[in-house]
Amino acid sequence: MTASSTFQDALVRVRALAELANIDLEIIEGLLHPKELIMVSLPVRMDDGSQKYFSGYRCRYNSILGPTKGGVRFHPNVNEDEVKALALWMTIKCAVIGLPFGGAKGGITVNPKELSPMELERLSRVYIRVLADFIGPHRDIPAPDVYTNSRIMGWMMAEYDSIKRTHAPDVITGKPIELGGSLGRDDATGRGAYLCALELIRKMERALTDISVAVQGFGNGGYHVARLLQQAGCKIVAISDSQGGIYAKKGFDVESLWQEKQRSKHIKGVYCNGSICEMVEHESISNDELLSLEVDILIPAALEGVITKDNAHGIQAKAIIEIANGPILSEADNILHSKGIKVVPDVLANAGGVTVSYFEWVQNRSGQTWTLEDVQQKLKEKMTAAFEAVWDLAENEKRTLREAAYIKALRKISAAVEAHGTHNYFNG
């Protein structure tokens, strides 16, 4: 689907669920419009001496609950509508988890694989140079996203410090540990989804060793959730990336697949013992075939809009846990619900990343350094509490988990807006 329709689809879902939650129309209208959106041109001196221009974006969608928070992605498809949709989802996500943040998102339209390391650094720094007055520890806090990492966040923080003539580690999260980053940030998104999966499996009253899992997308989030679920006893029977996937009924050793992907840049059915890897029996499948496998849990961890009204009828998983942002279109939700498929929505399932980013921000502001065990325990407490609250709301009000998550978030946002006064208050 197009990025433009991604944002429109997000608005359709918000409007429908806000009306379902009986949210004041004035508040609904406010949620349909981003607070601030900036588009900038970024001049970069290339290694060959030429100057090239890149388009950059940053959207602060809603700040009623606190300073806005959201990642920065480097990708050829980044555009205004995608950034707005992602910032809206982040607004909902922070409210679901109970973080004192609003939602934001940013990005640059670029294929970072085509840039040298020095060109990438120049691009990262000029992005902050142009947006230095748009962000800040009390205003808007960027973080890593697609094709950005801790090193890039370190460059961005250094540029901000240079411009503002200060040391502000709390302006950026997802930084290197040595520059004020938090332990536990590297696997936070996958670990958060894993914690949701554990809660869901417990609700299903199933043994972990009886659970089969298919993961579409083998980046950071997909790898870590697959790794953790396998360690817990689940069987990871299928994994794919943009080039296709593999399937084995007996399951795979996730760490071996990850090692092979780092070595060859391809997903292959292997088992590795140290540096020695040998092929294991498996089938090659497409991403579409992976989505329709008969498994207990399907985890879309790649792109938005992969499950639509056209393929939703073919989904055979008993449950879906969304790690990607917006992998299921609103038009497919009712189909999945009619099939009895439980969906743990992205605004809950992939919130581990922003939650540990919040922990990093707190540590930076207080001058503390938490242990890995502290971070993981606090993440577990946040994720399981949010999951239980969403599950209970869904059960008590006869809603899907997505409806319950949005209703919980929208009621929290609504209460904050109403504290300032709405039409109903001012009209007596």
Residue 281 inside a domain? The answer is yes
Residues 6+ apart with CB under 8 A from 336: 307, 312, 315, 320, 328, 343
**CATH code for position 327:** 3.40.50.720
Looking at the structure, tell me whether residues 235 and 201 fall in a common domain. yes
Looking at the structure, tell me whether residues 10 and 150 fall in a common domain. yes
């609250």: which residue's tokens? 389
Burial 231-261 (b: 16+ CB within 10 A, else e): eeebbbbbbbbeeebbbbeebbbbebbbbbb
Residue 396 inside a domain? The answer is no
pLDDT of residue 115: 98
Q: Encoding tokens for residue 54?
A: 């890149």
Residue 211 domain boundaries: 188-344
pTM of the prediction? 0.92
Looking at the structure, tell me whether residues 200 and 57 fall in a common domain. no
Candidates 239, 278, 271; CA nearest to 256 is 271
pLDDT of residue 25: 85
Looking at the structure, tell me whether residues 89 and 38 fall in a common domain. yes
Residue 133 inside a domain? The answer is yes
Candidates 133, 68, 137; CA nearest to 106 is 68
pLDDT of residue 1: 44
Pick the catalytic residue from 69, 105, 261, 318. Answer: 105
pLDDT of residue 428: 67
Looking at the structure, tell me whether residues 301 and 232 fall in a common domain. yes
Residue at which a domain ends, from 344, 374, 400: 344
Residue 361 inside a domain? The answer is no
Residue 397 inside a domain? The answer is no
Looking at the structure, tell me whether residues 141 and 246 fall in a common domain. no
Residue 64 inside a domain? The answer is yes
**CATH code for position 36:** 3.40.50.10860
Residue 174 inside a domain? The answer is no
Looking at the structure, tell me whether residues 317 and 197 fall in a common domain. yes
Total of domains in the chain: 2
Burial (Cβ within 10 Å: 0-12, 13-18, ≥19) of residue 151: middle
Beta strand 276-279 with 283-285 is unpaired
Binned average pLDDT, 10 residues per bin, the chain of 428 residues: 69 88 86 95 97 98 97 96 95 97 98 97 98 97 94 98 97 97 96 98 96 95 97 97 92 93 86 77 92 97 91 97 93 94 97 97 96 98 98 96 95 90 73
Looking at the structure, tell me whether residues 141 and 227 fall in a common domain. no
How far is 385 from 381, CA to CA, in rounded Å?
Answer: 6
Looking at the structure, tell me whether residues 294 and 328 fall in a common domain. yes
Looking at the structure, tell me whether residues 196 and 152 fall in a common domain. no
- Are 356 and 376 within 8 A, CB to CB? no
Q: How far is CA 398 from CA 20, 23, 403, 414, in A?
A: 12, 18, 10, 21
Looking at the structure, tell me whether residues 131 and 9 fall in a common domain. yes
Assess whether 105 carries a catalytic annotation: yes
Residue 193 inside a domain? The answer is yes
Looking at the structure, tell me whether residues 153 and 245 fall in a common domain. no
